[in-house]
Amino acid sequence: MDRVVGWLERAQPDVLLMQETKLSDDDAPLLPFRGLGYDLLHHGEGRWNGVAIASRTPIDPASVIANFGDGPVRNSGTGTGPGSAFAEDDFNPFDEARMLSAVIDGVRYVSLYAPNGRVVGSPFYEGKLAWFDRLRRWLDETASPSEPLVLGGDLNVAPTSIDVWDESKAHGGTHVSEPERERFRALLDWGLIDGYRSRRPEPGRFSWWDYRAGNFHKNIGMRIDHVLLSRPLADGIIWAEIDREARKGVPIPSDHAPLFVDVGEPGVRLDAGWDGALERIAARTRPGRR
């Protein structure tokens, strides 16, 4: 929570989409967000998953959709669904808190936490593909590319080769497999724009790095967090960035760095830490160096 508060003060976003909160709705930290001027909407189940939306503008409660509107997720609290927290191996991506949506100031926002997939061909991988198929059907059924729409979050897909340090070494083959990338492209084909890539063509700028083996400092990472926008909003994008600086320091940060997109007018300009970083990384990792 200290890191979240610090980043809200640093970046001052109008809307923040969060994933993997690992909280029940009863435990969602409403007061810290209210103290900073944000409404908080949370959809969680307890120890695993969990998605949230924080907004400076009031959230329309009548517009809230969770779990694609398919019914309650089992919840260890009393928020969006009754029941008890599930065991980790009891995997059903449609019985997990991975999708939350609401309308804010005329724009529908969708906070998404895609399944990891673990290993290509496993039940977890097949569940991941099915979850993406359901997301695309939900768009077909409920939305239009001509409406202002933002999908954002940890999609656990590196869409192209420049979005991953080494495709051949990606864990379990997931995140870079062609079926996963096909599902990502299906969202773009529907009418969404990759907000970051629309303004930032540079390779090697990632949003996730494993904690192990100094991977962050070696830039062994992937761009698996995305903000996808419909054309009415994408035409107004003026800046996009991944805040590498937020992946540093104490208390221990998330292994994901915040991704942000400015639409319509500039947000707070901050030093994301990329200037000179890639040159230092290249120097540390070239042959002959340890």
pLDDT-derived band at 281 (thresholds 50, 70, 90) equals confident
**How is residue 164 annotated by DSSP?**
B
pLDDT-derived band at 286 (thresholds 50, 70, 90) equals low
Q: The whole model's pTM is what?
A: 0.91
The per-residue pLDDT for 275 is: 87
**How is residue 256 annotated by DSSP?**
B
Q: What are phi and psi of 39, to 5 degrees?
A: -80, 145
One-letter amino acid for residue 244 of the chain:
R
C-alpha pair distances (Å), 138 with each of 13, 143, 251: 27, 8, 38
C-alpha pair distances (Å), 24 with each of 8, 86, 90, 96: 22, 12, 18, 12
CB atoms within 10 A of CB 277: 16
What would the mean pLDDT of 157-167 be, rounded to a whole number? 96
Domain 114-285 classification at class level: alpha beta
Give me 12's structure tokens.
């001052």
- The mean pLDDT value of the chain amounts to 91
| CA dihedral of 288, 282, 220, 250, whole degrees rounded to 10 | 110
Q: What are phi and psi of 229, to 5 degrees?
A: -125, 145
**How is residue 93 annotated by DSSP?**
G
What would the mean pLDDT of 53-60 be, rounded to a whole number? 97
What would the mean pLDDT of 107-133 be, rounded to a whole number? 96
Q: Which residue, among 242, 269, 272, has the nearest Cα to 257 in the 3D structure?
A: 242
For residue range 244-268, what is the model confidence (pLDDT) as tens digits? Answer: 999 999 999 999 999 999 999 999 9
| Percentage of residues of the chain with pLDDT beyond 90 | 81
What would the mean pLDDT of 54-66 be, rounded to a whole number? 97
The per-residue pLDDT for 280 is: 78
Per-domain residue ranges for the chain? 114-285
Is residue 170 over pLDDT 80? Answer: yes
C-alpha pair distances (Å), 160 with each of 120, 132, 200: 17, 17, 14
| Percentage of residues of the chain with pLDDT beyond 70 | 90
The per-residue pLDDT for 90 is: 54
